[in-house]
Amino acid sequence: AQRVTQPEKLLSVFKGAPVELKCNYSYSGSPELFWYVQYSRQRLQLLLRHISRESIKGFTADLNKGETSFHLKKPFAQEEDSAMYYCALSSDNYGQNFVFGPGTRLSVLP
C-alpha cells in the first residue's frame, strides 16, 4: 500500500536560514508527488508538484526515486513561510488515489 512519511512534526529555523522539509514515500508504481501548504486558519493549497519541476515562492523539491524521497527545500527562509506543510502522493490505485503525510509545522523565527 502507498504511504507518505514526514519525520518532523515541527521544524524551527531563523529567518534567512536554509530550510529542508523531509518527505519519504512507499509505492510500488510510478508516483506523482506534491507539496501542499496550509497557512493559519486557511484551506490546504497546492504548493508544487514534481512533474512540473517548478519553483514556487522560492521552494523546490526533487523526486529521488532511489531514496524514495521528495524533500522540500528553500535556501533562505522568510517569516511568511511559517505554515503547515504536507507531502502527498497520487497513485494509480482504484481506491484511495491521494495519500497525505502527517504534516510538518514550519516556524520561521525573526
Partner 1 sequence: DAGITQSPRHKVTETGTPVTLRCHQTENHRYMYWYRQDPGHGLRLIHYSYGVKDTDKGEVSDGYSVSRSKTEDFLLTLESATSSQTSVYFCAISPSRGQRNTEAFFGQGTRLTVV
Site residues for partner 1 per CB under 8 A: 6, 9, 32, 34, 36, 42-46, 49, 84, 86, 88, 90-92, 94-98, 100-103
* Amino acid, res. 28: S
Residue 92 beta carbon to partner 1: minimum distance, rounded to whole angstroms:
5
Residue 98 beta carbon to partner 1: minimum distance, rounded to whole angstroms:
5
Nearer to partner 1, 8 or 15 (CB): 8
Nearer to partner 1, 69 or 90 (CB): 90
Task: Kindly state the cell numbers that stand for 110.
Answer: 525573526
**In the chain, beta strands by DSSP E:** 3-5, 10-14, 19-21, 24-26, 32-38, 45-49, 60-61, 72-74, 83-90, 98-100, 104-109
Task: Kindly state the cell numbers that stand for 78.
Answer: 522568510
Nearer to partner 1, 20 or 92 (CB): 92
Residue 47 beta carbon to partner 1: minimum distance, rounded to whole angstroms:
11
Distance from C-alpha of 24 to C-alpha of 67, rounded to nearest angstrom: 8
Residue 66 beta carbon to partner 1: minimum distance, rounded to whole angstroms:
23
